[in-house]
Structure 1
Amino acid sequence: MCGIAGVFYQHPKHMTDPQTLVNMAAIMHHRGPDGFGYATMPERGVGFAHARLSIIDLVGDRARQPFVTEDQRLMVAHNGEFYDFKRLRAELTADGAQFKTKSDSEIILHLYPRFGVQGMLPYLRGEFAFSLYDQAEDTLYLVRDRFGVKPLYYTETDKGIVFGSELKTLFAHPDVPRAFSDTGLYHQLIQTMVPGTTAFEGIRQVMPGHVVSIKRVNGRLHTEETKYWDMDFPLEHQHDQDDKRADEYIAGVRKHLLEAVQHRLTADVPVGCYLSGGIDSCSILGLSAAASQEPVKAFTIGFDSAAYDETPIAREMAAATQADHHVMSLNSNDLYDHFEQTLWHTERTIYNTLGVAKYLMSQQVRDVGYKVVMTGEGADELFAGYPSFRKDLFMYGLDHLPAQERAEWQSMLEQNNKLFKGAMLAREEYVSDAFVAKMGFTPSCLQPWLSCTGFADKLLAPSRRARMEGYDAGQAIADTLDADMLADRHPLDKAQYVWTKTMLEGQILTWGGDRVDMANSMEARPAFLDHKLAEYAFKIPPHLRIRKNKEKWVLREAMKGLLPETLYKREKFAFMAPPAHTDPKKWQAMRDLAQKYLNKEAVEEAGLLDYTEVQALFALHEADDASAELQVQLDAVINHMLGVQVLHHHFVKTDVPAQAAAKAKALGWSA
């Protein structure tokens, strides 16, 4: 687990000073505090840099990256983990390959010459992002894992391509402009990004499951993006309707999940587990404990609000598995005290301070000597755990059931999730014509955020508002989704597909995952997002994912023997921090931060928001007749307003190249 960076220029004469590459690595020192490396091919206008977090092959500098082959044909920089690499290494060695390290990363140098990029990708299992330059083809490849667990950004300047694991890595290069785009700003305010985009002008992400190829032809760079993997659900009529096979699917989930967990226990350092009160993380801990010889270290976040705190169930699970349990208890006003620093790492806005809580937890994980934890992310995506999935199923996928029965289930769903209405569930139905045209309905997971467009339309600074007139956020998002993957699919499959392409990649795996974990040099491994497990889960019939109003039924049954009875019977509880308005101290802490970043001078200097409308939104939130649901929604919008101002301060107003150079000097990193 590391950070990568690099350049690929149209002409070698543009080749940057190697110290710039080192500076790009230094500004993401948190991703790789155990060492750095860089390599260049000046005559080809290519250079890579790498900041290393050592987890596999800890012997000296043997595994220092970037790797360059002896014939100077290939250069590689890799972030993440390839599992099952020992078997692959043995097979490749038998085929004549000679390895110089014990690192999982080195297998790329031997797979690529044999199979090419597209041919080698099926062999790569895990969470990864890597850059590969082939001098013979004069082509740079940027590759991201199937679900987008690991980040990878790139931009094209007048001179060529600049890429890196984080936005600040690109901003550390003096040729990369730092400015919000109108659409990027707008989508920050409504939480949901357009897949593949960022908040900043000209900077894109490599899409999950994609390869970006940049080939130089006659001094010009030609960029092509190719998909190599997707969530390919069966057609609706192909789903198995036979209840007699339920036990087969239960056993299959257990088998594939255990295999995914065992792979993610592979490390030359101890591996712990995140533990909430949910089925997902409890399953991971239970399987890890069963597969390990020593007690597993488990880490839990506790809140001082009983309505949001899950530590009682987490303690019960930890005791049942004899885990070494570490609980971090947070006071409500702790979170806004660390809001700014968290956003420096997330590089995007957050709707809920859970991202701050995760940042603080990763800090404690690192402080007790752990670099790696397994997490439960991905279970809800594969097995239909979120309340929005049940809502879509009740509305569009159960036409054969009596309307009264569906209405009763819907009412129960709304009542049990009333704390999250305005965030996880919309206050009222929102219809996007673009989504209706593309998939037949507007997925419930996007409705809370698309309904924020009414606020975003007003909040934009006047000049930006004028340029965005008539913009359809739903259309922009829907246009990125592969129509072939939605056509003739079951409504539940469609809902899960959309969530995974938007909320999972753009939220859970960024400000809820990699960015706040790696902020403290800590690697998170989401076992549920193993693509072999996922491909099996896609085939599980919808009626076994949600059965008689019980979400994640097949997973629940597969893990029944591991789970405390309370948890086995419990409904999905969305894990989020208490919103600001639920506690006077937290509200005041948020207000103090707003006084710094949302005052008239700060707002007008940034040129992002309309100060009058910012004040009007606060007034709407604090009105005597504001409902709890409206306040939950406006809490999110306020966090986004704060967020864009914080991002402006850190990445537009601040001289990031100078900041990176100072960091490199302080670390003693030099070319």
Structure 2
Amino acid sequence: MCGIAGVMHADPQKPVDPNTLVAMAAIQHHRGPDGFGYEVQKDRGVGFSHARLTIIDLDENRARQPFVSADKQLMLAVNGELYDYKRIRADLVSRGARFRTKSDSEMVLHLYPRLGLEDMLPQLRGEFGIALYDRHRDRLMLIRDRFGVKPLYWTEVNGTLVFGSELKVLFAHPEVPRRFEAQGLYHQLMQTMVPGHTAFDGIHQVKPGHCLIIERSHGKLQIRDERYWDMDFPLLEERGQERDEDFYIEGIRETLMESVQLRLEADVPVACYLSGGIDSCITLGLAAASQQSAVKAFTIGFDNVDYDETAIAQEMAQSVGADQDIMRLKAEHLYDNLVETLWHAERTIYNTLGVAKLLMSRHVNQAGYRVVVTGEGSDELFGGYPSFRRDMFLHGLDTLSPAERASWQQLLSESNQLFSGAMLAENEWRDPALDKLVGFTPSCLQPWLASAIHTPGLMSESMRDQIHGYEPGRAIAEALDGDMIRGRHPLDKAQYVWIKTMLEGQILTWGGDRVDMANSMEARPPFLDHHLAERAVHLPPSMRIKGRTEKYVLREAMKGLLPKVLYEREKFAFMAPPAHTDPKKWAAMRALADQYLSDQAIQDAGLLDVNGVKALFQLHEAADTSASTQVQLDAVINHMIGVQVLHHQFVAQDIPALARKRAAELGWAA
């Protein structure tokens, strides 16, 4: 697990500055504190750099990246983990391959020339961002894992393609502009990003399951985006007759056990994150069953009883003999670390869970661990979120009588009251473009589309002018592949949209990689193994949500592993308490607002409108504002503070100078 960076010039004779490559590695030192390396193809205008976190093959000199193939034709830099590498390595060696390291990453140098790009990609199992330069074909390939667990950004400026694991890596290049885009600002303020986009002008993401191919032609860079994998739910007519329940249960059990066991492979100790949900409890249980020694389990505890899950987590830890470490957090202290969290998240966050996760990763690192197994992805594969249940029963059960439908609507209104305004909209929200594409507006997007009514009034006049007539729902709809949505069951559609928006843009960024790697902590989510996902898409909807039970097949597959209270428990989303629920936390938030949302700070940044910001606070504090609306407005306030902080960190601050300073402090030099 590391950080990668690099450049490719349209003019192959234009030299690559090694000092810039080193600075790009240094600015992401937190991703790879154990060493760095760089390589330049002097006559090709291509250069890579790499900051390394040692997980597999601890020999710093032998496994230092970027790798160059023995014939000098390939250059490689990898961020992430490639699983099942021992089997693949043995097969390659039997066919004559000669490895120079024990690193999992090196196998790319041997698979690519033997199989080619198209046939190599299915062999890559894991979480990764890969940069591979083929000198013979004079092409650069940027490859991102199937769900976007690992980040990978790119931009083209002045005939140069610049890429890196984080936005700040691109901004460390002196030619890359640092400015907000009006549409990007809009989406930061409403929470949900357009897939593949960022808040900053000209900065893109390699999409999950995609490969960006960059070649030179007549003095220009030719860039094409190719998808190699997607969550391909069957068409309704392809589903056919359902099999016996045991067929699905055994298939999920077998594949999940394999996925967990692969993610325990490391040359350093592996721990588990443990909340009170069944997902992290399952990963802990399977990890404990796969290891001889007691597994270390780390749990976050909140001082708000409505959001604290430590009691259930303790019961699970005791049931498998885990060595549990509980880190207890006070609500008001979360805002003390928000600014640091935003530096790493590089986007705004609606809930301070991201701060809690950053503090937890620091705690785990200080305890001597740098790898954890996590539960992310289970809800996405098995229908765990309340929004999925709403969409399934409101749009997927056309045979219900009016009385039965009314009964289900009552159930939906009663469940997950705690998350109304955040995970569920207070009132149904319809978007024409999404209705047309999906057949309905997915419930997961409704609270954020509802909050978007506040967004134009919060933006400065110059920014507001640029989004005149802009439709955020349409922008999201146009970024989704309709061929992967049309003709599917409503539950399939809802899960697909969540995976492309909320999972990649939120859970795996400020709830995952970015706050874990802030403290050099590699998080491995076994539920996001593509072999498991390819089984999950073929599950009948009734095996995912059966009556009142979500994730039915998973519960049944792991029934013997889970304590009774967990097996029977309804989904409880892991979140930090909203600011308005605690006077001390509200005061901590207001202190940050006084600093970053002052009239002068707003005018200096030029992003927000002073009167619009004040009006939103007044609405939040009005006596007739409902609790659900307050939850929604809490999120908007966090986003307003967030964009101001991001402007201070990435626009007002001289990032290239900061990167050079970091390199000097680390003693990293070309």
TM value normalised by structure 2: 0.99
Partner of residue 7, structure 1:
7
Contact 1:149 1:509 in 2 (8 A): yes
Partner of residue 344, structure 2:
345
1:523 aligned onto 2:532: no
Partner of residue 257, structure 2:
258
Distance 1:369 1:241 in 2: 51
Counterpart residue type for residue 130 of structure 2: F
Contact 1:151 1:166 in 2 (8 A): yes
Q: Name the Cα RMSD after superposition.
A: 0.9
Counterpart residue type for residue 586 of structure 1: K
Distance 2:545 2:213 in 1: 40
Tell me by how many angstroms 1:419 deviates. 1.1
1:305 aligned onto 2:304: yes
Contact 2:421 2:632 in 1 (8 A): yes
Partner of residue 192, structure 1:
192
SS of 1:20's partner is: helix
Counterpart residue type for residue 554 of structure 1: V
SS of 1:401's partner is: coil
Contact 1:240 1:541 in 2 (8 A): no
SS of 2:324's partner is: strand
* Gap runs ≥5 in structure 1: none
Partner of residue 218, structure 1:
218
Distance 1:454 1:241 in 2: 44
Distance 2:27 2:624 in 1: 47
Distance 2:168 2:486 in 1: 38
1:75 aligned onto 2:70: no
Partner of residue 103, structure 1:
103
Contact 1:154 1:162 in 2 (8 A): yes
Per-residue CA distance 1:68-91 (angstroms, 9 max, x = gap): 123221100000000000110111
Contact 2:183 2:467 in 1 (8 A): yes
Partner of residue 163, structure 1:
163
Partner of residue 282, structure 2:
283
Distance 1:35 1:149 in 2: 23
Distance 1:95 1:16 in 2: 36
Contact 2:275 2:299 in 1 (8 A): yes
Contact 2:81 2:105 in 1 (8 A): yes
Partner of residue 419, structure 1:
418
What does residue range 79-158 of structure 1 map to in structure 2 within 5 Å?
79-158=79-158
Give the length in aligned residue pairs: 670
Moved over 6 A (4+): none
Contact 2:307 2:576 in 1 (8 A): yes
What does residue range 241-640 of structure 1 map to in structure 2 within 5 Å?
241-242=241-242, 245-640=244-639
Tell me by how many angstroms 1:13 deviates. 4.2
Tell me by how many angstroms 1:60 deviates. 3.6
Distance 2:533 2:613 in 1: 43
Tell me by how many angstroms 1:241 deviates. 4.8
Percent identity, aligned pairs only, is: 64
SS of 2:549's partner is: coil
Distance 1:133 1:288 in 2: 37
Partner of residue 36, structure 1:
36
Counterpart residue type for residue 47 of structure 1: G
1:664 aligned onto 2:663: yes
1:172 aligned onto 2:172: yes
Distance 1:71 1:393 in 2: 55
Per-residue CA distance 1:425-448 (angstroms, 9 max, x = gap): 001111111011111100000001
Distance 1:591 1:192 in 2: 24
Tell me by how many angstroms 1:398 deviates. 1.1
Tell me by how many angstroms 1:150 deviates. 0.3
Counterpart residue type for residue 387 of structure 1: P
After alignment, is 433-442 or 337-346 more displaced?
433-442
Distance 2:359 2:351 in 1: 14
Contact 2:138 2:215 in 1 (8 A): yes
Distance 1:410 1:117 in 2: 49
SS of 1:216's partner is: strand
Distance 2:315 2:238 in 1: 41
Counterpart residue type for residue 22 of structure 2: V
Distance 2:446 2:277 in 1: 24
Contact 1:241 1:541 in 2 (8 A): no
Distance 1:364 1:450 in 2: 36
Cα distance change on mapping 1:240 and 1:569 into 2, 3 Å = farther
Tell me by how many angstroms 1:353 deviates. 0.2
Per-residue CA distance 1:347-396 (angstroms, 9 max, x = gap): 00000000000000000010000010010000000000000000001101
Tell me by how many angstroms 1:650 deviates. 0.2
Cα distance change on mapping 1:561 and 1:144 into 2, 3 Å = same
Distance 1:299 1:139 in 2: 43
Distance 1:114 1:524 in 2: 31
Counterpart residue type for residue 530 of structure 1: D
Distance 1:525 1:582 in 2: 32
TM value normalised by structure 1: 0.99
Tell me by how many angstroms 1:237 deviates. 2.8
Contact 1:409 1:549 in 2 (8 A): no
SS of 2:232's partner is: coil
SS of 1:636's partner is: helix
Tell me by how many angstroms 1:483 deviates. 1.1
Distance 1:366 1:229 in 2: 33
Distance 2:631 2:259 in 1: 36
SS of 2:244's partner is: helix
Counterpart residue type for residue 642 of structure 1: I
Contact 1:239 1:540 in 2 (8 A): no
Tell me by how many angstroms 1:401 deviates. 2.5
Contact 2:4 2:48 in 1 (8 A): yes
Distance 1:441 1:156 in 2: 36
* Gap runs ≥5 in structure 2: none
Contact 2:35 2:60 in 1 (8 A): no
